[in-house]
Amino acid sequence: MTAQLKRVPVAAFDPLAARADFEILSRTVYGKPLVYLDSAASAQKPRQVLDAMREFASSDYANVHRGVHYLSAVATERYEVARENVRRFLNAGQADEIVFTHGGTEAINLVAHSYVAPRIQPGDEIVLSVMEHHSNIVPWHFLRERYGAVLRWIDVNDDGSLDVDRVDAAIGPKTKLVAIAHMSNVLGTITPLKDVVARAHAKGVPVLADGCQGVVHLSVDVQGLDADFYAFTGHKLYGPTGIGVLYGKRALLKSMRPFNGGGEMIQEVSRERVTYAPPPARFEAGTPPIIEAVGLAAAIDYLSGLDRKAVAAHEDDLLRYATDQVKELNWVRMIGEAKNKGAILSFETDDMHAHDVATILDREGVAVRAGHHCAQPLMERFGVASTTRASFALYNTREEVDVFVAALKKARAILG
Amino acid sequence: MDQGLRELYQEVILDHSRHPRRFGALQEATHTGEGYNPLCGDRVKIYLALDAENRIQDIAFEGKGCAISQASASMMTDMLVGRTVEQAEQLMSGFLHLVKGEDTNGLAPEDREQLEVMGGISEFPMRVKCATLPWHTMKSALEGGETAKTE
C-alpha cells in the first residue's frame, strides 16, 4: 500500500487574515467588540488604502494637469494610473471612458444633466425600478419637474427579484433611458443587468446601471454587460469618501455637454466664448479628488489581490448562515429573498420598530442600518415604513452573525 | 442589561408605547398638525381642541413610529389636557431641555417627576428626535403651520 498524499484544502480566502487589515474592526463600542454590519452604507477601509493616501499626500502630492513642476507631473501620473486601474477593474475599453466624480450620486446626476436632459421632450420617459436608491430616482424627478419627463416604474416580484420581461414591457417609443441598480441596497437583489441591456438595446434605448452595491460584490465587466453607463462610489468599495466613477461609452461621453463649469474642463476660454476639453476632462471641472483617486486605486488593488470568487463565496456563506437563523424567528419577516442576491439582509419585526431594534443592537456593539435606506418607493411597495438591515462585507465572520442574532433576540426580550 | 438601555426602555415607556393613551382622531379638533421624521419615515398627527380661553380641552394623536416616539406622544397628550397654550409651550420647552440632558429648572416639580422617565433618552443622541417629534408637531398644530420635521 502506498501512502496517499492527502490534499490539504487551501483556504482561498481567509476573512480573519483580512480583518487584520481593518484596524477599526478591533475597536469596541460601549465596551463590546464592534460588529460592523453596515457596509452597504459605507465600508471600512483597509490600512493599504489609508497608507497609500497618506504616503501619496506626504511625498508626491500636488495639483494635477496644471503645473510644469516635478510634483505636478508625479501627481498627474498617479491620478491617471488610478484611472487606468479603474478601467481594468471594470474591463472598460479605454481609460478615457472613466470619469472621476465626487461620488456615485454625482455620477448619476452627470448622466441626467449632460446626457438625458438635452434629449428630453415633454412626455419622454425614463424607465426605472421601484428598488432604486434615491440617488437613482431624484435626478430623474428633476427631469420630470424641469422638462416634463415621465417616470415609468418597473415593479419587483414579492421575493424582490426583477423580471426582465417587465423591463421590456415598460420600454416604449418615448423611452430615453433605462436606469437600474445592478444590486439593490435594501433587498440585495442582483438584477439581470445583461439581459436588461440586451432588451433595451433591441429597442434602441441606452442603460445606466447604478453599480454602487454591485461593484462591491460582483466582478463587473462593462463591455460584457454592454452597459452604456455604469456608476459607482469609492467608499462602499473599501475606498475613501469623496470619489466616485462614471463609466460611459466613449461615443456617448463625447456627445454630452459639460456638467459643472470650471478649470480643467475647458479647451479655451475667451471673453466671448468657451470650448470644452474632450472626455473625461470635460466632466472633471475644478481640482478633482486626487488623493481619493489614489485611495480608490489602492482599494481596487486590495480587492484584486484577493480571490474575488472566494470572497463572494464567503459573503454568500454569511448571508445564508444569517438568513437561516433569522428565518427561524417567527416574529421576523424577511424582505428580499430573490434567488440571486448579494450579502444584504433586510427584515421587519413584529411589534418592534426598526429604530428600537437598531438601538438595542448598537448597545451590543452591532452596527446595523434602520430606516428607509433611501429607497422610499420600495418601502411603499412592501408596505413598510422602515426595515432593519444587516449588510455583510469580506471582513465579517460567522461569529459576528451569532452576536447579531443573539442581540436580535435580546431586543425581542426587551421590547416584545 | 445595559444600564442605558434599561433607562431608555423603562416599563413606563414600553407601557405607553404598547397602550398609547389618547390614540385616535378627534372629530371636534380646532387645530391639527402633522409631523414627519425624514430619517426614519415616522409620521404623527396631533389633534387639539382649544376652548375660548385657549385651554386644551382635548387632545389626541395618530401615527406609527418607534417605541420612543409613540410613548412620547402618549405621555404628552396625557399631560397637556387642561393646560393653556402658554403652559403647553412651557412644558415643551422643559421637555426639550430634559431630553438633551440639560437643566430642567423651568419645569414644575410634579411635571419633572412625570417626565423623568424620558430622561434616559439624553444618552442616545441619535434618538432624541424620536422623542421630540410629537412635541414639535403639537407646536406646529398650535401655530397652524407646516408639517413639523425633526432630523
Do both A274 and A325 map to the same domain? no
Are residue A274 and residue A300 in the same domain, yes or no? Answer: yes
Q: Which of A304, A321, A343 is the last residue of a domain?
A: A304
8 Å CB contact of A359 and B127: yes
Q: What is the ipTM of this complex?
A: 0.86
Min Cα–Cα distance to chain A from B33, Å: 20
Task: State whether A37 and A63 are in the same domain.
Answer: no
Residues A34 and A74 in one domain: no
Taking an 8 Å cut-off on Cβ atoms, the answer to whether B8 and A371 are in contact is no
Q: Does B66 touch chain A (CB under 8 A)?
A: yes
Asked if B91 is an interface residue toward chain A (Cβ–Cβ < 8 A), one would say no
Catalytic residues of A: 374
Q: Are residues A326 and A260 in the same domain?
A: no
**Separation CA A383–CA A335 (nearest Å):** 11
Residues in Cβ contact with B52 at an 8 Å cutoff, skipping those fewer than 6 apart: none
Shared-domain flag, residues A281 and A334: no
What is the rounded average pLDDT of the residues A30-51? Answer: 98
Pick the closest to residue A408 from A303, A342, A289, A327 (CA basis). A327
Averages of pLDDT over runs of 10 residues in chain B (151 residues) are 83 92 94 88 90 94 92 95 94 93 89 91 90 94 72 53
Determine, yes or no, domain membership for A7: no
Within a domain: B7 = yes
| Facing residue for A414 by CB, picked from B9, B126, B127 | B9
pLDDT exceeds cutoff 60 at A6: no
- The answer to whether the CB of B8 falls within 8 A of the CB of B26 is no
CATH of the domain at B14: 3.90.1010.10
Asked if the structure places residue B149 within a domain, the reply is no
- Count CB-CB contacts under 10 A for residue A316: 15
Cβ–Cβ contact B24 with A under 8 A: no
Tell me the C-alpha distance between B48 and B135, whole Å.
12
Q: Write out the H or E segment, with its range, that includes residue A298.
A: helix A290-304
For A54, the enclosing helix (H) or strand (E) is: helix A47-59
With a CB-CB cutoff of 8 Å, which residues 18-37 of chain A face chain B?
A: 30
Per the listing, cell 394623536 goes with B61
Answer for the pair A30, A363: CB distance below 8 angstroms, yes or no: yes
DSSP state of A271: S
Residue B60 CB partners (closer than 8 Å, separation 6+): B22, B23, B24, B25, B26, B29, B46, B47, B77
* B67 to A370: CB separation less than 8 angstroms, yes or no: no
Q: Do both A157 and A257 map to the same domain?
A: yes
Range of lowest pLDDT (A25-34, A40-49, A218-227, A260-269): A260-269
Least Cα separation, residue B35 to chain A (angstroms): 14
For residue A346, list its beta bridge partners: A335, A389
- List, for residues A356-407, the tens digit of each pLDDT value: 999 999 999 999 999 889 999 999 999 988 899 999 999 999 999 999 999 9
Range(s) of the domain holding residue B67: 3-141
Q: Which among A354, A363, A415 has the least Cβ separation from residue B14?
A: A415
Shared domain check, A80 and A129: yes
Q: What is the pLDDT of residues A295-349, one digit of tens each?
A: 999 999 999 999 999 999 999 999 999 999 999 999 999 999 999 999 999 999 9
Please answer yes or no on whether B130 and A355 come within 8 Å at the CB atom.
yes
Contact A109, A139 (CB under 8 A): yes
Among the partner residues B9, B18, B41, nearest to A372 by beta-carbon distance: B41
Q: What is the pTM of this model?
A: 0.92
| Cα–Cα distance for residue pair A202/A10, rounded to 1 Å | 45
State how far the alpha carbon of B26 is from the alpha carbons of A207, A327, B46, B65, B79, in Å.
50, 40, 9, 19, 17
Per-residue pLDDT tens digits for A53-93: 999 999 999 999 877 899 999 999 999 999 999 999 999 99
Task: Give how many domains chain B has, as a whole number.
Answer: 1
Q: Which of B89, B78, B68, B77 is nearest to B131 (CA)?
A: B68
A 363-382 residues with CB < 8 A to B: 363, 370-372, 376, 379
Instruction: Say whether A346 sits in a helix, a strand or coil.
Output: strand
Q: What CATH number did the domain enclosing A386 receive?
A: 3.90.1150.10
Among B5, B39, B67, the residue with its CB nearest the CB of A353 is: B67
With CA atoms as reference, the chain B residue closest to A388 would be: B40
Contacting residues of B for A414, CB less than 8 Å apart: 1, 5, 9
What are the tens digits of pLDDT across the range A216-229? 999 999 999 999 99
C-beta atoms of A415 and B8 within 8 A: no
A4 in a structural domain: no
Residue B126 lies in a domain: yes
Inside any domain, residue A1: no
Which chain B residues touch A354 with a CB distance below 8 Å? 40, 66
Residue A85 lies in a domain: yes
B130 in reach of chain A (CB within 8 A): yes
Tell if the CB–CB gap between B2 and A363 is shorter than 8 Å: yes
- The range of the structural domain enclosing residue A156 comes to 50-304
| C-alpha distance across the termini of chain B, in Å | 29
* DSSP type of residue A189: B
